[in-house]
């Protein structure tokens, strides 16, 4: 059990290079959702990448009470799709459609091949941003590649195609003995004043895999900035990232109370406990026979 999450999002501007970096550690959040949803190893790793993805998208939330939801449809992938939500303040919940993939989880194929089969070559994406007063806006886009599609491509397409920002992204998630061991997400944003030389240097280090290696090793923002030669950091901001869901035992009882009386009577007559799972976070609520009789 995770008693205190160490997940955190750290961001900094680098004025000499006219670049901003945002680094998110989402390991504990990924482990919590993996455990709550009883995910297999492949679904757990892809879900970890998607958590990093939605946290990076959530950096654009600027009002308390706002939420950003990412809904994916993967027509060619074994996962089928996913739904992830990030609230203002980086409270995250969500799920992948298929939690266990026996044909992939037990396969001896390389990880990249398994992830390819889990995601497929195309993703239909819908991003909804909602305000507490009921207002919302939605943007939809598709990402497709003939060779390989990754969650990183979805992040970059959202920021470039929908927000018009010049960015590079990198996601890193690894498992050990079938469980998420670490999960990180990095976003590099080039400001309009950034020189061509700076952009090329940073792009080359993303392309040659060295940024991925540092992220896999758990490097911090300072080490990543030094590797990219961005110069001294300006203002640095830090915020906790956490798993959070609005479900509760009271809401479960309220849902059951809304059922037709005949159904409640039938459930109470069986004299058995009923397990109800939150589809957003996977948490199980057990309703006792005494509670079921109380609903009558």
Tens-place pLDDT, residues 209-248: 999 999 999 999 999 999 999 999 999 999 999 998 888 8
Distance (Å, whole) CA 161 – CA 163: 6
Please give the pLDDT value at position 1.
Answer: 46
Output DSSP code: residue 22: E
- pLDDT digits over 101-132, tens only? 999 998 988 888 999 999 999 999 999 999 99
Average pLDDT, stretch 1-17?
Answer: 86
Taking the C-alpha atoms of residue 16 and residue 194, their distance in angstroms, rounded to an integer, is: 9
Segment 287-296, tens digit of pLDDT: 898 888 888 8
**Which residues, 6 or more positions from 287, have their beta carbon under 8 angstroms from its beta carbon?**
252, 253, 256, 273, 274, 275, 276
Task: Provide the pLDDT for residue 292.
Answer: 85
| pLDDT higher than 90, residue 255 | no
DSSP 235: -
Average pLDDT over residues 20-27: 98
Please give the average per-residue pLDDT across 162-184, as a whole number.
93
Output the pLDDT for position 3: 52
What is the pLDDT, as a whole number, of residue 202? 98
At residue 178, does pLDDT exceed 80?
no
How far is 92 from 161, CA to CA, in rounded Å?
24
**Could you give phi then psi for residue 65, rounded to 5 degrees?**
95, -15
Number of other residues whose CB lies within 10 A of the CB of residue 42: 28
* Interval 257-282: pLDDT, tens: 888 988 888 888 888 888 988 877 88
> What's residue 276's pLDDT?
87
User: Could you read off the pLDDT of 29-82 as tens digits, one per residue?
Assistant: 999 999 999 999 999 999 999 999 999 999 999 999 999 999 999 999 999 999
């Amino acid at each position: 059990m995770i008693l205190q999450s160490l997940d955190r999002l750290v961001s900094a501007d680098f004025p000499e290079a006219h670049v901003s970096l945002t680094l998110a550690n989402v390991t504990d959040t990924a482990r919590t959702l993996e455990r709550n949803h009883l995910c297999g190893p492949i679904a757990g790793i892809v879900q970890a990448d998607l958590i990093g993805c939605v946290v990076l998208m959530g950096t654009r939330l600027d009002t308390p009470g706002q939420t950003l939801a990412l809904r994916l449809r993967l027509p060619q992938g074994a996962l089928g799709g996913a739904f992830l939500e990030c609230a203002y303040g980086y409270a995250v919940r969500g799920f992948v459609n298929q939690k266990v993939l026996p044909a992939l989880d037990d396969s001896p194929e390389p990880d990249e091949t398994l992830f390819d089969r889990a995601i497929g070559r195309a993703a239909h994406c819908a991003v909804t941003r909602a305000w507490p007063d009921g207002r919302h806006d939605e943007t939809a886009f598709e990402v497709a590649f003939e060779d390989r599609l990754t969650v990183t491509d979805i992040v970059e397409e959202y920021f470039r195609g929908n927000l018009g920002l010049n960015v590079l992204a990198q996601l890193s998630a690894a498992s050990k003995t079938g469980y998420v061991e670490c999960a990180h997400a990095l976003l590099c944003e080039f400001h309009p004043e950034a020189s061509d030389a700076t952009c090329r240097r940073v792009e080359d280090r993303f392309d040659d895999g060295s940024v991925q290696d540092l992220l896999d090793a758990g490097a911090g923002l300072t080490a990543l900035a030094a590797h990219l030669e961005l110069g001294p950091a300006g203002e640095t901001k830090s915020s906790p990232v956490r798993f959070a869901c609005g479900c509760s035992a009271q809401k479960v009882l309220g849902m059951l109370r809304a059922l037709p009386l005949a159904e409640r009577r039938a459930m109470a007559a069986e004299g058995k406990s009923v397990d109800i799972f939150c589809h957003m976070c996977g948490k199980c609520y057990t309703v006792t026979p005494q509670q079921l009789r109380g609903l009558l």
